[in-house]
């Protein structure tokens, strides 16, 4: 067991807790706690939106998928995830910022009423289970690797959850923003240095790039068949569109000091994420050059351990400290905001409907209490799902918001004729069709023929258009009939 490495990790965790305590002294109301009082400058909006996606799967999941299947295997993340932030900046940030909302659920209430607000908020909250569980699973794995098996993964999950929970409960999103800012600096510097060192161990970056070319890892497009193209598009759209109606994305964009900062921060953050995600991919490709078949076996059988194993067995202590500092930065930055996001949605869009008239102080207490409860639920879910690949936990998390919450958001913003009836039909059609494609319901053949989330998205758009226009058409027809009858009389 490397006590020097563990000491540095403990000091790093204590440092983030100190930031949370400091931020807590500046929390005066729910706006401060939920969206940092809409006060963040561009550089902090960029780092916190970049940190939205740069989590456990970016460091440990995406690179292993890349060396197994090339760029085609990772269309969902980072390409879909990064493009999501770019789309948010280009088409959603300015309009939503002007509405001065606390949560994304507030939009659904203003546009379609309380029923849609509650239902979409529940769908959004549900989607966070897999996302946060992936981060907690990774924290458990990190502590197990650090202690050379001395700490079990379940114990590591508990310790990691507490390390994140404490500073978020105290400091809210203000603590998240400041720790994101510091952690992303650590992450970028740490992984960049490790990438250069890995290339040197591999005999130069040319050998690493040659390996990628030899194994056709640069291939992005799928085989030209209907099913393969449909699966490719469905995978890409899952995080590209399904992540847009997410409270953590909304919080980070809406925390900007003005609408221009909100727009530019999201676009720069998304582009930065896509580009920098290639750094851990390069490091893992270097590991394959250095470790040979051992690395490929790990990538195939236990890919989450590939990068930590490479660092621990092939690199000196300084690189190990940099790596685990960067890895913990990635995980903590993502898990902190994704714990806070569903908590804010629950209090603002569900609890306030059950208990109207709550004071701001009561709402702030409720947010902190709910945060603890949600963290415990996610921890139990992560322990139960232990063994499920991190990448799979993340990629499956956003299908429910893609087929449920996305269409009412985009159509509500950009189509004036969208109605509450249309939103209801959209939700019912999208989720209903998506469920039909579950292997346990529609059968394995149907789920392998066409992606259920894409079928659900198409049904949701059709439902919105049909549900909004049909009542209007019937009403116009009824009025026309009454007019004719009036003339006859």
Strand, coil or helix: what is 40? strand
Least confident of 290-299, 357-366, 401-410: 290-299
Residues 247-257, mean pLDDT to the nearest whole number: 86
Q: Dump pLDDT digits (tens) for 134-149.
A: 888 888 888 888 888 8
Q: Which residue has the higher pLDDT, 307 or 32?
A: 307
Neighbours of 364 (CB within 10 A): 21
Over 80: is that where the pLDDT of 188 sits?
Answer: yes
Q: Where are the alpha helices (DSSP H) in 302-419?
A: 306-314, 317-346, 352-354, 360-384, 390-395, 399-404, 406-414
| CB 450 within 8 Å of CB 423 | no
Report residue 270's pLDDT band, with 50, 70 and 90 as the boundaries: very high
User: Mean pLDDT score of the chain, rounded to an integer?
Assistant: 86
| Residues in contact with 355: Cβ distance below 8 Å, sequence separation at least 6, in sequence order | none
Return the pLDDT at 485.
63
Q: Can you tell me the distance from the alpha carbon of 352 to that of 339, in angstroms, rounded to the nearest whole number?
A: 19
Q: Can you tell me the distance from the alpha carbon of 223 to that of 229, in angstroms, rounded to the nearest whole number?
A: 7
Can you say how many angstroms the Cα of residue 345 is from the centroid of all Cα atoms in its chain?
A: 15
Query: CA nearest 232: which of 71, 53, 19?
Result: 71
| Residues in contact with 398: Cβ distance below 8 Å, sequence separation at least 6, in sequence order | 127, 131, 238, 239, 242, 243, 246
Q: Dump pLDDT digits (tens) for 149-182.
A: 888 888 988 988 888 888 788 888 777 788 888 8
Residues 253-257, mean pLDDT to the nearest whole number: 87
Report residue 453's pLDDT band, with 50, 70 and 90 as the boundaries: very high
Return the pLDDT at 112.
95
Strand, coil or helix: what is 232? helix
Return the pLDDT at 387.
63
DSSP bridge pairs for 59: none
Over 90: is that where the pLDDT of 454 sits?
Answer: yes
**Residues 334/338/339/343 CA torsion (nearest 10 deg):** 160
Q: Can you tell me the distance from the alpha carbon of 183 to that of 181, in angstroms, rounded to the nearest whole number?
A: 6
Q: Which residue has the higher pLDDT, 302 or 231?
A: 231
| Residues in contact with 202: Cβ distance below 8 Å, sequence separation at least 6, in sequence order | 208, 286, 289, 290
Residues 51-70, mean pLDDT to the nearest whole number: 83
């Amino acid at each position: 067991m490397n006590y020097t490495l563990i000491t540095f990790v403990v000091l790093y965790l204590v440092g983030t807790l100190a930031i949370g305590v400091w931020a807590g002294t500046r929390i005066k109301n729910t706006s401060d706690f939920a969206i940092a009082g809409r006060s963040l400058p561009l550089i902090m909006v960029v780092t916190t939106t970049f940190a939205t996606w740069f989590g456990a799967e970016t460091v440990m999941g995406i690179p292993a998928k890349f060396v197994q299947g090339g760029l085609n295997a990772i269309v969902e993340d980072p390409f879909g995830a990064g493009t999501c932030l770019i789309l948010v900046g280009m088409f959603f940030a300015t309009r939503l910022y002007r509405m001065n909302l606390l949560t994304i659920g507030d939009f659904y209430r203003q546009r379609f009423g309380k029923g849609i607000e509650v239902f979409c908020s529940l769908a959004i909250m549900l989607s966070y289970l897999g996302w946060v569980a992936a981060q907690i699973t990774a924290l458990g794995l990190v502590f197990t690797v650090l202690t050379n098996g001395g700490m079990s993964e379940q114990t590591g999950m508990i310790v990691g959850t507490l390390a994140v929970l404490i500073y978020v409960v105290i400091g809210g999103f203000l603590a998240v923003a400041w720790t994101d800012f510091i952690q992303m600096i650590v992450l970028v510097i740490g992984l960049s240095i490790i990438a250069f060192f890995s290339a040197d161990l591999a005999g130069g970056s040319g050998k690493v790039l040659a390996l990628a070319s030899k194994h056709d890892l640069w291939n992005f497009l799928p085989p030209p068949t209907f099913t393969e193209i449909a699966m490719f598009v469905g995978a890409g759209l899952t995080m590209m569109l399904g992540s847009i109606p997410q409270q953590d994305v909304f919080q980070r964009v809406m925390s900007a000091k003005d609408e221009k900062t909100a727009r530019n921060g999201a676009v720069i953050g998304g582009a930065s994420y896509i580009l920098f995600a290639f750094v851990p991919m390069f490091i893992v490709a270097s590991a394959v050059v250095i470790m040979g078949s051992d690395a490929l076996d790990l990538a195939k059988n236990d890919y989450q351990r590939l990068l930590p194993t490479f660092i621990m067995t092939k690199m000196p202590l300084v690189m190990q400290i940099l790596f685990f500092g960067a890895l913990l930065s990635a995980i903590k930055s993502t898990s902190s905001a994704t714990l806070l996001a569903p908590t804010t949605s629950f209090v603002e869009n569900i609890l306030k409907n059950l208990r109207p008239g709550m004071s701001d102080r009561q709402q702030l207490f409720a947010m902190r209490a709910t945060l603890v409860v949600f963290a415990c639920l996610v921890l139990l879910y992560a322990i139960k799902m232990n063994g499920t690949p991190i990448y799979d936990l993340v990629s499956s998390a956003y299908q429910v918001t893609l087929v449920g919450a996305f269409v009412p958001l985009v159509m509500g913003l950009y189509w004036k004729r969208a109605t509450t009836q249309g939103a209801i039909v959209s939700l019912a059609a999208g989720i209903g069709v998506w469920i039909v494609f579950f292997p346990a319901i529609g059968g394995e053949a149907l789920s392998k023929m066409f992606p259920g989330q894409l079928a659900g998205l198409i049904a949701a758009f059709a439902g919105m258009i049909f549900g909004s226009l049909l009542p209007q058409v019937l009403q116009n027809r009824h009025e026309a009939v009454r007019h004719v009858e009036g003339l006859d009389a």
